[in-house]
Amino acid sequence: MGEPITALPIVDEDACSGCGICVAQCPGLAIFIVDKTYSETEAAVSFPYEYFPLPEAGDGVNAVSRAGERVCDARVLKVMNPKSYNRTPVVTVAVPKDLADDVRSIRIITASR
């Protein structure tokens, strides 16, 4: 029998290529990616997002902390939801670089469609 779902994920940094597949495949959805090289002023934060409606690239959203508290405004860069992700979309948002370590999810401001 494998590890329990509550076990902390362990990333083998030597084997990591930065592809992000682990974000959607982690059983506890505990893995996220913070890319502080995205631009001079912004970081890209990617995380699993299992809520409706799904945002779309270009949408303005509220970036929230682990506790669900608003951290800052964010811009959706992309939403990946291929069949191989087993219905666990991965959302990537751009946030101010100095707040990237606090952002863990988003809250939709208003439906933009």
Structural domain includes residue 90: yes
Whether residue 113 lies inside any domain: the answer is no
| Residue 4 lies inside a defined structural domain of this protein | no
The pTM score is 0.87
Residue 33 in domain: yes
pLDDT tens figures, 13-52: 899 888 888 899 887 788 899 999 999 999 999 999 999 9
Structural domains in the chain (count) = 1
Which amino acid is present at 112?
S
Is 95 a member of any domain?
Answer: yes
Tokens of 80: 């990946």
| Residue at 53 is within a domain | yes
| Domain annotation covers residue 70 | yes
The domain in which residue 35 lies consists of 21-108
Residue where the block lists tokens 């959203």: 61
Sign of CA dihedral 96, 43, 112, 24: negative
Q: Which residues contact 15 (CB under 8 A, 6 or more apart)?
A: none
Would 59 be classed as within a structural domain? yes
pLDDT for 42-53, tens place per residue?
A: 999 999 999 999
